[in-house]
Amino acid sequence: MVDLKWIRTHPEEAQRAIRLKGVNLDLSALLALDQEVQGLKARFQEVQTERNRIAKEVPRAQGEAKEALIARGRALGEEAKALEETLREKEAKLTDLLLQVPLPPWPGAPIGEDDRANREVRRVGEPRAFPFPPLDHVALMEKNGWWEPRVAQVSGSRSYALRGDLALYELALLRFAMDFMVGKGFIPLTLPSYAREAAFIGTGHFPAARDQVWAIAGTDLYLTGTAEVVLNALHSGEILKAEELPKRYAGYAPAFRSEAGSFGKDVRGLLRVHQFHKVEQYVLTEASLEASDRAFEELLGNAEEILGLLELPYRVVEVSTGDMGPGKWRQVDLEVYLPSEGRYRETHSCSALLDWQARRANLRYRDPEGRVRYAYTLNNTALATPRILAMLLENHQLEDGRVRVPKALVPYLGKEVLEPCG
């Protein structure tokens, strides 16, 4: 959420952010409603002041004067009640609008409507030149008996079930990612895959991306699409000490997305499924651009190091204003080369959100001067399966259809090559 006081004093900048982020929001209507709310609050205060004055005068008044004061007090009480009801309604509408106001992007972000405006920064590693006709990851799984196609009859489309060495490989990857993050000083957490609505509002998934989230029928809970949702709510309502920051968490949880709007996209294989597994990096830091920039480079560096250990060629992409989402100050994606498609596909999104999430989730700390301030938040994927498996299978396949295991994963899997499953 953007500070309302800032919006009042910087309406042109707020309007520019709305335009750059492609948000459908009438800022003039928000500001008009804000003025109305301020007027109602002022009138409510006037009514309350007069009621208090009358309450003090009534015991001293006599006869008709006393009756007039009582009548006036009664009328003011009715007005106060009506004002309270109107204020609740108007403030709720104002909050709904404020939740839609995007954070202005950092000055270095490419300006554009969508991912076509994203800017490639650099490439790391060369795509492999195969001395044999390579298979795509679906063909590799079918050839080696590494997936169970009957699961679609049980769980529907966009479901997957791995078999044999590939099932063990997925588990090995997740443990590898958690161990890696622990080695970087992050606190590991295993987390639930569901949360209440307030947590989704806190991250910004609601209201904008509500269609991507599954509700759990008969409860007030929703399935999470990333551990970020729960991590971001852990310290909601607390006032942390400055010396406690930064908070650095590595959260693992199964993740769920409805994939609304993705009909016909990536229907084969492991690239776009309803349920997946994810180790998420999350940092809560002090409210300074310097601290945020340091954390951003740390999270991005961690992800790049992981891809290096997985021996995968990738590129670094600066995300455009129209593609980064309303709450992002800056977003950099990492995309891994997928041989079967001859292009790079996103595997990591490193995001800095300044205090946009903190204001929504009430994440605060007391600075060295004793002031209570909203913290800054950042997040990035550490590793997500099964998507990364598609890249690993295709990039590390052998001529006989088996798949080589990167050296960093051999201790976790206990073998150097994935063997067929009978």
Which position has the token pair 């307030």? 198
Q: What is the DSSP string of 220-260?
A: SEEE-SSTHHHHTTTTTT-EEEGGGPPEEEEEEEEEE---T
Residue 162 makes CB contacts below 8 A (sequence gap 6+) with 141, 146, 147, 148, 169, 170, 386, 389
Q: Is 217 left (phi over 0), alpha (psi -120 to 50) or beta?
A: beta
Catalytic residue among 51, 359, 360, 387: 387
> Is residue 292 flagged as an active site residue?
no
CA distance 228 to 351: 11
185: left (phi over 0), alpha (psi -120 to 50) or beta: left
Kind and range of the H or E element at 208?
none
Set 286, 349, 364, 394: catalytic member: 349
Beta bridge pairs of residue 288 = none
- The three-state secondary structure class of 378 is strand
Catalytic residue among 163, 196, 272, 345: 272
The yes-or-no answer on residue 346 being catalytic is yes
Contact predicate 280/251, CB 8 Å? yes
CA distance linking residue 317 with residue 332, whole number of Å = 6
Does residue 387 carry a catalytic annotation? yes
Contact in structure between 396 and 407 (CB atoms under 8 Å): no
Looking at 258, 346, 366, 402, which residue is catalytic?
A: 346
CB 255 within 8 A of CB 226: yes
Cα–Cα distances in angstroms (integers) from residue 308 to residues 96, 148, 334, 336, 414, in the given order: 43, 30, 12, 11, 20
The CA–CA distances, whole Å, from 273 to 37, 139, 257 equal: 45, 17, 8
Q: Is the dihedral of CA 386, 389, 394, 395 positive or negative?
A: positive
Q: Which of 257, 330, 359, 360 is catalytic?
A: 257
Q: Other C-beta atoms within 10 Å of 18: how many?
A: 20
- How many other β-carbons are positioned within 10 Å of the β-carbon of residue 236? 15
Annotated active-site residue 272? The verdict is: yes
Q: Using alpha carbons, select from 263, 347, 258 the residue that is nearest to residue 300.
A: 347
**Amino acid making up residue 362:** N
Report which of 287, 281, 313, 284 is spatially closest to residue 300, judged by C-alpha positions. Answer: 281
Give the residue numbers annotated as catalytic, written as ranges: 257, 272, 346, 349, 387
